[in-house]
Amino acid sequence: MNAPPRPPASFPPRNGSGLLASFGHAWAGLIHTVIYQRNMRVHLIAAVLVGLVGSGIALGLAEKVTLIFCVLLIFFAEILNSALEHLVDLAVQQFDEKARLAKDAAAAGVLVLALGTVVIFAAILVHNWDTVRESTDAIVRQVALGLPLTACVLVLVLPRPRPVWVDVAAFAVGSGLMTFQALETASSVFSALTAGLLFVAGAAAYQRRREQSAPRRAA
């Protein structure tokens, strides 16, 4: 008599299923994408630059909403693309042309959104060129503070081995620059966006270190 088939293995339980836990899982998905997806890191740096421009030049409400929506839409598309890649890899254990086409199509969707955002960003700058010319002092200030701030974010998201103090210093310096920038910002919304992106970069650096040290603790 044949033995009854074994039931499929159940997924390991998550640490909670409430609303707060759901936010935690979503946050973990965002940080995972920043850590392991190169394009997401590129989008993060580009979003910091957009935030610096928006906080340095006085834009109208429509322009602000458009830029923020474009940034969030690209993030959403990149996260969705990452999820699709994992799903395809899980379902297809060997090379398949349709799997490659599915990944390429998802990546193409992100590329189209990114190119569209660049066009929209350029159109907004051209439309507000008089405002840009009148904001010379603010632009100089944004460049002086924004370039090292962007460098700090870049250091935090780069997947390179480095001492802990480098990440701590990059986050501390970035936070200080962000504070100075927020004192005379043209838009508190864009300053908040830039500060949030710095926090995401810091969280990604922290999580990367935790994952790298986990095998050592287990050993």
Q: At what angle do helices 61-91 and 19-36 cross, to 10 degrees?
A: 80
Could you confirm whether 78 is annotated as catalytic? yes
DSSP string, 27-87: HHHHHHHHHH-HHHHHHHHHHHHHHHHHHHS---HHHHHHHHHHHHHHHHHHHHHHHHHHH
CB 67 within 8 A of CB 193: no
Catalytic residue among 63, 78, 97, 134: 78
Residue 77: CB atoms within 10 Å: 19
Annotated active-site positions, please? 78
